[in-house]
């Protein structure tokens, strides 16, 4: 009995959908727009978090040691730093490596290289670069280093810490990241709400055109669930179709963006994201489409089932 009703509701829903012609097409198109916005928000947030990760990755604090600092002391300081929970990575650059890097950097600048040769000795000190797990933790790390007891060989062996020069930049960056995340979220919610309301109104309009039909079904003695069922099924079908259209439309866009716009997006490859997250995109768009179509129909038919 229950399975027969379910089967009948599914068949009636599919027939309703295919026979409603233009109304169904309009509903699918509006839901396509809604789901496309949802999909773009997914890509946007992926791009945003990728960019943020990239930028965060580039921030570090460099500690420059004096030329007479003992290498083994610096290594010990490095080991101590690595034990801190805030620290993600510490890289040591020895005096010789610093010099090699300097030469590499100024390979075309003969004047500077000549001056360096004239000095006869290596003027560069060793340095360590510290990367924090979170940009807001740099201050704590610098505080830690400013305390002479934590530096093996004493605070006097530290020539300078470039954090103080970078401090304002780092702070601004930390703020910017926070603001971007919050603004992005607010924008996402706003767009999602707007498009959901439009999709909702369209589904309601589609059902409004069937209100006489609903009245007849009621008079013929159909139960409320039996009347509502096919409309909900038709709404879900519109959602499924819209999700499929969006997924299909995104593929060529992803191919184009992945090949031509990758450098513009700071190395973020849209196509790679599309293919590697396909299951996630598919499930998200499908479930948003099904829930949106089904729920909008449910609410809309409810209005015409009074009495």
Residues binding other proteins (CB under 8 A): 1, 4-5, 8, 15-16, 19-20, 212-213, 215-224, 226, 307
* Residues 254/40, Cβ–Cβ less than 8 Å: no
How far apart are CB 303 and other proteins at their closest, in Å? 15
Closer to other proteins by Cβ: residue 24 or 127? 24
Nearest distance from residue 300's CB to other proteins, in Å? 17
State the minimum distance, in angstroms, from the CB of residue 293 to other proteins: 18
Nearer to other proteins, 17 or 200 (CB): 17
Give the count of beta carbons closer than 10 Å to the beta carbon of residue 163.
20
Closer CB to other proteins, 20 or 62, in the complex: 20
Helix H or strand E encompassing 73: helix 71-82
Least distance (Å) between residue 193 CB and other proteins: 33
Q: How far is the CB of 299 from other proteins (least distance, A)?
A: 18
Q: Shortest Cβ distance from residue 45 to other proteins (Å)?
A: 41
CB of 237 to other proteins, least distance (A): 15
DSSP string computed for 122-191: --PPPEEEEEESSGGGHHHHHHHHHSGGGSTT-GGGEEEETHHHHHHHHHHHHHHHHHHHHHHHHHHHHH
Name which of 16 and 56 has its Cβ closer to other proteins.
16
Cα distances (Å, whole numbers) of residue 122 to 71, 117, 166? 14, 9, 26
Identify which of residues 79 and 224 has a Cβ nearer to other proteins in the complex.
224
* Strands, sheet with 87-93, edge to edge from the N-terminal-most edge strand: 87-93, 127-132, 61-65, 158-161
Give phi and psi for 69, each to the nearest 5. Answer: -70, 140
18 or 272: CB nearest other proteins: 18
The Cα–Cα gap between 289 and 296 comes to: 11
158/154 Cα distance (integer angstroms): 8
Q: Which is nearer to other proteins, 173 or 222 (CB)?
A: 222
CA dihedral sign of residues 201, 202, 205, 210: negative
What phi and psi, each to the nearest 5 degrees, are found at residue 223?
-70, 160
CA 36 to CA 286: how far, in whole Å? 12
Main-chain phi, psi angles of 264, to 5 degrees = -65, -35
Q: How far is CA 70 from CA 102, 152, 219, 257, in A?
A: 21, 9, 95, 51
Q: How far is the CB of 12 from other proteins (least distance, A)?
A: 8
- Closer CB to other proteins, residue 1 or residue 83? 1
């Amino acid at each position: 009995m229950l399975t027969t009703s379910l089967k009948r509701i599914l068949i009636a829903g599919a027939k309703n959908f295919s026979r409603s012609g233009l109304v169904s097409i309009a509903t699918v198109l509006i839901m396509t727009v809604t789901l496309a916005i949802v999909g773009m928000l997914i890509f946007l947030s992926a791009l945003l978090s990728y960019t943020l990760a990239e930028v965060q990755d580039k921030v570090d604090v460099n500690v420059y040691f004096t030329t007479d600092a003992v290498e083994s002391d610096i290594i010990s300081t490095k080991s101590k730093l690595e034990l801190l929970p805030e620290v993600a990575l510490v890289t040591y650059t020895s005096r010789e490596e610093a010099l090699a890097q300097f030469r590499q950097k100024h390979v075309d600048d003969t004047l500077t290289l000549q001056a360096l040769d004239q000095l006869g000795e290596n003027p560069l000190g060793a340095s360590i670069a510290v990367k924090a797990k979170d940009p807001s933790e740099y201050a704590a790390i610098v505080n830690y280093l400013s305390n002479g007891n934590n530096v093996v060989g004493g605070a006097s062996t530290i020539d300078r810490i470039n954090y103080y020069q970078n401090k304002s930049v780092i702070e601004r960056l930390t703020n910017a990241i926070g603001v971007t995340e919050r603004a992005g979220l607010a924008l996402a919610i706003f767009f999602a709400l707007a498009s959901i309301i439009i999709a909702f109104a369209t589904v309601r309009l589609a059902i409004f055109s069937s209100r006489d039909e609903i009245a007849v079904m009621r008079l013929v003695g159909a139960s409320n669930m039996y009347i509502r069922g096919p409309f909900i099924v038709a709404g879900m079908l519109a959602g499924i179709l819209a999700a499929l259209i969006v997924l299909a439309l995104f593929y060529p866009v992803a191919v184009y963006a992945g090949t031509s716009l990758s450098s513009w997006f700071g190395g973020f490859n849209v196509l790679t994201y599309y293919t590697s997250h396909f299951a996630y995109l598919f499930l998200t768009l499908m479930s948003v489409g099904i829930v949106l179509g089904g729920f909008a129909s449910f609410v809309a038919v409810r209005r015409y089932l009074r009495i």
